[in-house]
Structure 1
Amino acid sequence: MEIFPVRSSKELKEFILLPWKVYEYDPDWVPPLVYERKKFFNKNKNPFFKHSEVEYFLARENSEVIGRIAAIVNFRHNQFHLDKVGFFGHFEVIRDYEAAFGLLNAAKDWLKYRGMEVMRGPANFSTNDDVGLLIEGLNQPPVIMMPYNPGYYIEFVESFGLRKVKDLYSYFFDPQIGFPENMLILSEKFKKKGNIVIRNLNLKKLDEELEIIKEIYNAAWSNNWGFVPLTEEEIDFLAQYLKSFVDPNLVFLAFVNGKPAGFSLSLWDINQVLIKTSGKLFPFGFLKIIWNLKVRRAMDRARVIILGVTPEFQKKGIELIFFTESFLAGVKRGCKVGDFGWILEDNLLIRKPLEKMGAKVYKVYRMYEMEI
């Protein structure tokens, strides 16, 4: 078996397509869109690479690719946190200890050579993307933009010597049980008392809206563990990906006395459609997606993917207002299952109101690290 860095377009294609081999017989895996993954991993197209250095590695045995990993130095992370943390991510491997350890060692050695003192992950590529290893809630499909992995990955990373640094929670909420009446009343009181105005995203003025969102985003999450400020190019890159299926009725902006104060983004779980495809648009994938989106209307699950309030206006009830507005809009548009995540295990400002409204933790993702 050999571990080697990706150097050709052929090898990059093998890197991108490996999950189709790992999850070939897993009915819960959701294949991503291949064209989107090609753009995401392209170092000339994804703006993440303008401030980070990344090496892709493959594991091959008997001419067959059996594993992959990315080693990542995110300079913006280290400048923001004043540390020397390197990351591993996009880790996929068949059930083979030698291959798993070989890949993790390759990432560790590459990071150490570049002066990193800690290896942390999985991060695909940063906390602004999907992160963590699914350790609880396996054997059910992932929701949009959340990771998924076989259970044996846990044994691999822990046997390698990686240890927990932080857990991330996803909450399940059944809208059919209703929203607590007292919380609905409290939400309205917060609006009036704080002169808080909530409105939906205006897609017709998306460029102007993005300027407001950029201002809110990097302020609202600045105190969160692992936070990395997004560049303007990264926000634009993400917006281009999301705008094709975002529902503006599930996106909210909060203002206090006219000043931007918070942002909440919920997305319909397109994974409910993608799971019925191979990840390829042609020849039949595109037709399947259109059929499920337009004819069958297969999506009845939504994920609250982003919910943040700038430090100046935190603890003034805006978080609860966002939950309330998201619930009311979701139910009105046919949502039957709500997913809230991921949420840091120690983020009680968000966890407490979720639990009061009846949401339950149903998935746990773990970030690991080790000194190198």
Structure 2
Amino acid sequence: MSGISISEVRGKAERKRFVEVQFALNREDPHWIPPLKDEVMGLITPGKNPWFGHGRAAFFLATRDGRDVGRISAQVDDLVQTMTPDLGGGPGTGHWGMIEATDADVAAALIERAEAWLRDQGMTRALGPISISIWDEPGLLVKGHDHAPTVMMGHHNPAYEGWIEQRGYAGIKDLFTYDLDISRQFPEIVQRIVASGERNPRIHVRMVDKKRFGEEAALILSILNDAWATNWGTTPLTDDEIAYAGKKLKPIVFNELIRVAEVDGEPVAFMMTLPDLNEMQRDLNGELFPFGFIKLLWRLHGGFSGYPKVRTMRVPLMGVKKKLQATRLASQLAFMMIEYIRRDSVAKFGASRAEIGWILDDNQGMNSIAGAIDSHVNKIYRIYARTL
């Protein structure tokens, strides 16, 4: 590790360097999509990202011969400390993430520095990469490097897997994404299940109403917090985080792509789908100004059509209230929402492909639904752990 210097990020100028080093290290990868720099700055800035209301983090830069050659974050989330160990948390559990490195020596130095910070915070176990919470970009890409990530998913140098494991880390959880051809109808059995649900007077599946965005967002997040309450790694979203997420997602929210399922008039399930923003921002190089904002706005509105034209849709979130989970009704509601959104994605947005997930490797219900609609695992993101 000779010649490598690790320093903690202090102030706005160094946060910009922290963002820029990712661009320097990945620009030659044809499948990497430059994130919007303003979004990343907001993610790592206390006072902008409400995650810092219950968490604390440090950010580190690696330099060698006067050049930035890597970065890493280290973070402690108070909500993670209250979780049980079987759900991926518990007292003494810290995280690191946002790792970028030119080589194995730089990666080792960065991870060692992140671990030292976590020990100073009283942590006894490190999980990573998690950048910077489970709701942002969790896991290291270990399968699927040959195609671009969809919106809000990460993309990593294939060498990182070996560099992390060399530090004594072992994978403890895999997160799957599924590739789905939505240009063709689902298998006949799924179509019959959807048709049966349509004949059931107890079931009503509706679009959200973006004009009532705040109310609809609160409803969806209430279902989400109930449905995911015992999912591995999940921390409940605070009111401030819900508002923050809503503000970021509102420009890419469309009524036709989010469905709420009601049973006997009670909202019990939802499915959120987003047009793949990565397709629309790929050529912006992370910059919104001076012209990137105009290009992106035009693309988001599909010119004058009101609908962005994309090849890919992403399904980041789906939830069914816990009282219905593992029931036939839950699966039926899921198939109905997926089918309705599939139809509109093709007809109104011109999409032909969807990516579903992430889904936990041991979530049998969701993995079974993904299999039933003839989707296939296209990417695997791995979360590692090590005792400090």
How far apart are 1:366 and its partner, in Å?
A: 0.6
Give the gaps of 5 or more residues in structure 2: 85-89
Mapping of 1:126-137 within 5 angstroms? 126-137=133-144
Distance 1:32 1:194 in 2: 45
Distance 1:286 1:193 in 2: 46
Amino acid at match of 2:354: G
1:85 aligns with 2:93: yes
How far apart are 1:353 and its partner, in Å?
A: 1.8
Pick which of 31-40 and 153-162 moved more.
Answer: 31-40
Change beyond 3 A, Cα 1:169–1:159: same
- What's the counterpart of residue 354 of structure 2? 338
Distance 1:215 1:38 in 2: 28
How far apart are 1:328 and its partner, in Å?
A: 2.1
1:306 aligns with 2:317: yes
Mapping of 1:43-58 within 5 angstroms? 43-58=46-61
Distance 1:156 1:348 in 2: 31
Of 370, 376, 380 in structure 2, the residue corresponding to residue 360 of structure 1 is 376
- What's the counterpart of residue 349 of structure 1? 365
Amino acid at match of 2:215: E
Distance 1:228 1:331 in 2: 34
User: SS where residue 177 of structure 1 aligns?
Assistant: coil
Distance 2:295 2:32 in 1: 17
Mapping of 1:271-282 within 5 angstroms? 271-282=278-289
1:76 aligns with 2:91: no
Kept in 1: contact 2:31–2:145 (CA 8 A): no
- What's the counterpart of residue 341 of structure 2? 326
How far apart are 1:207 and its partner, in Å?
A: 1.4
Pairwise CA RMSD: 1.7
Mapping of 1:128-147 within 5 angstroms? 128-147=135-154
1:113 aligns with 2:135: no
Change beyond 3 A, Cα 1:191–1:350: farther
Distance 2:248 2:181 in 1: 28
- What's the counterpart of residue 184 of structure 1? 191
How far apart are 1:181 and its partner, in Å?
A: 2.7
Q: Deviations over 1:137-174 (max 9, x none)?
A: 10211101001011111111011111110111111111
- What's the counterpart of residue 291 of structure 2? 284
Kept in 2: contact 1:254–1:263 (CA 8 A): yes
Amino acid at match of 2:358: W
Pick which of 48-57 and 184-193 moved more.
Answer: 184-193
User: SS where residue 101 of structure 1 aligns?
Assistant: helix
**Identical counterparts, % of pairs:** 32
User: SS where residue 377 of structure 2 aligns?
Assistant: strand
Give the gaps of 5 or more residues in structure 1: none
- What's the counterpart of residue 268 of structure 1? 275
Q: Deviations over 1:186-222 (max 9, x none)?
A: 1232455481221111111111112212211110101
Amino acid at match of 2:345: G
How far apart are 1:125 and its partner, in Å?
A: 1.3
Of 206, 210, 225 in structure 1, the residue corresponding to residue 213 of structure 2 is 206
Distance 1:182 1:254 in 2: 20
User: SS where residue 330 of structure 1 aligns?
Assistant: helix
Distance 1:194 1:133 in 2: 44
Amino acid at match of 1:357: I
Of 182, 196, 209 in structure 1, the residue corresponding to residue 203 of structure 2 is 196
Distance 1:163 1:298 in 2: 41
How far apart are 1:283 and its partner, in Å?
A: 2.9
1:3 aligns with 2:6: yes
Change beyond 3 A, Cα 1:221–1:191: farther
Distance 1:355 1:194 in 2: 28
User: SS where residue 272 of structure 1 aligns?
Assistant: helix
Change beyond 3 A, Cα 1:214–1:175: closer
User: SS where residue 179 of structure 1 aligns?
Assistant: coil
Distance 1:193 1:350 in 2: 23
Pick which of 301-310 and 169-178 moved more.
Answer: 169-178
Amino acid at match of 1:141: A
Distance 2:373 2:260 in 1: 21
Amino acid at match of 1:92: E
Kept in 2: contact 1:272–1:298 (CA 8 A): no
Kept in 1: contact 2:309–2:351 (CA 8 A): no
Distance 2:65 2:282 in 1: 31
Pick which of 188-197 and 99-108 moved more.
Answer: 188-197
- What's the counterpart of residue 166 of structure 1? 173
User: SS where residue 283 of structure 2 aligns?
Assistant: coil
Pick which of 15-24 and 176-185 moved more.
Answer: 176-185
Amino acid at match of 1:102: A
Amino acid at match of 2:44: F
Kept in 2: contact 1:89–1:125 (CA 8 A): yes
Instruction: Provide the TM-score with structure 1 as the length reference.
Output: 0.95
